[in-house]
Amino acid sequence: MEVVEGPEHATPAGSGAAVTIGAYDGVHLGHRHLLRVLQDEARARGLSTEVVTFDRHPATVVRPQSAPLVLTDLDQKLELLASTGVDRTVVVPFDEVRARESAEDFVREVLVDALGARLVVVGEDFHFGHRRRGNVALLSAMGARHGFDVIGLALEEDASHRAVSSTRIRELLAGGDVSAAAELLGHPHQVRGRVVHGDGRGGAELGFPTANVSLPDGLALPGEGIYACWYERAQGSVHAGAASLGRRPTFHDNVEAPLLEVFVLDFEGDLYDEAARVSFVSRLREERRFDSPEDLVKQMTVDVAAARSALGVVPD
């Protein structure tokens, strides 16, 4: 997949383009359904497939006080989009100038001039442009003038006939239901960060050395608790893990932000300063305070066994 940073650097495909637009946070099953329709329609019409997305969630600029936590950072989103087989993604920088741009100007600048759109496929509830005044009806009216067709798709639903959306996935994660979130994402929810030094208690005092993964702000995290997970190292190897996401109440009071610590099963070595990817598979229990470190160690032994069972991993 080709990635273009900014519509001003995009050259229209000679055959014309089938285009979709959106935040595409999580690239979940609803997004993938829309992308399959885009690809099928493009194939039938002899068009290239293009995704227009943004370098940040537009809400962080338009309404920062209530902007959602994101399921994926930009790099993750681009990797997931590439896995769908689209030809090109155009990343539009979203700032206050772009937020004030009218829907009509966006269509002319991006869809018509930069991409040479011949088809636009979006969700039927899609809104864009200043004050979200752009919608499927406006796209259809402008398409009639500028030579592109428009398809507005109903939202994809799950087996219970509920819409698949990034908002719903965030709600599931916040409640700790990472397995249900994974069903809607089509993959386990993954967070990425760098391994940093902690207080050194895990290995020396408890016998369970952990990788302390520093996470960026603004990222959607599962609710606090203990999880079975997969831990991917920078060099590509993947290991089973038991993750604690919380505030370590047995040892600390009033920790402001949750900490992510992963005990990497059947691994010995130095992980400090490495980039790490942690994929949450299932929630094992809630976080709680223990009366003593010894009681915590007993529970951690149970947690590791539960993580092995959830991941289908036997001891080396």
Q: For the chain, give the mean pLDDT.
A: 92
pLDDT on residue 251 = 63
pLDDT on residue 252 = 63
Per the DSSP assignment, residues forming a β-bridge with 219 are 70
- Quick one: which of 38, 165, 255, 1 has its CA closest to 244? 255
pLDDT on residue 160 = 82
Q: Quick one: CA dihedral 34, 40, 45, 46, positive or negative?
A: positive
pLDDT on residue 203 = 47
pLDDT on residue 205 = 53
- pLDDT, average across residues 261-278: 93
Rounded Cα–Cα distance for residues 81 and 305 (Å):
35
Position with higher pLDDT, 297 vs 169: 169
* Beta strand 48-54 pairing with 259-264: unpaired
% of the chain exceeding 90 in pLDDT: 79
- pLDDT, average across residues 111-125: 96
**283, pLDDT greater than 60:** yes
- Quick one: which of 161, 177, 311, 91 has its CA closest to 169? 177
- pLDDT, average across residues 104-116: 97
pLDDT for 258-267, tens place per residue? 899 999 999 9
| Kind plus residue range of the DSSP H or E element containing 50 | strand 48-54
- pLDDT, average across residues 164-172: 96
* Maximum alpha-carbon separation in the chain: 73
- pLDDT, average across residues 157-184: 94
**Amino acid of residue 159:** A
Rounded Cα–Cα distance for residues 12 and 114 (Å):
6
The CA-atom distances, in angstroms, between 28 and each of 53, 77, 91, 166, 218 are 15, 10, 18, 7, 19
Long-range Cβ contacts of 234-242 (<8 Å, 24+ apart): 234/274, 234/275, 234/276, 239/264, 239/265, 239/266, 239/267, 240/264, 240/265, 240/266, 240/307, 240/308, 240/311, 240/313, 241/265, 241/278, 241/307, 242/284, 242/300, 242/303, 242/304, 242/306, 242/307
**Amino acid of residue 302:** V
- Quick one: which of 113, 101, 92 has its CA closest to 17? 113
- Quick one: which of 168, 162, 141, 139 has its CA closest to 152? 139
Rounded Cα–Cα distance for residues 192 and 185 (Å):
17
**181, pLDDT greater than 50:** yes
* Beta strand 211-214 pairing with 189-196: antiparallel
| Kind plus residue range of the DSSP H or E element containing 279 | strand 275-285
Q: Which of 80-94, 197-211, 280-294 has the highest mean pLDDT?
A: 80-94
pLDDT on residue 295 = 86
* Domains in the chain: ranges and CATH: 2-153 (3.40.50.620), 187-311 (2.40.30.30)
Of 195-204, 213-222, 295-304, the poorest mean pLDDT is in 195-204
Cβ burial of 146 (10 Å; 0-12, 13-18, 19+) is: middle
What pTM does this model have?
A: 0.91
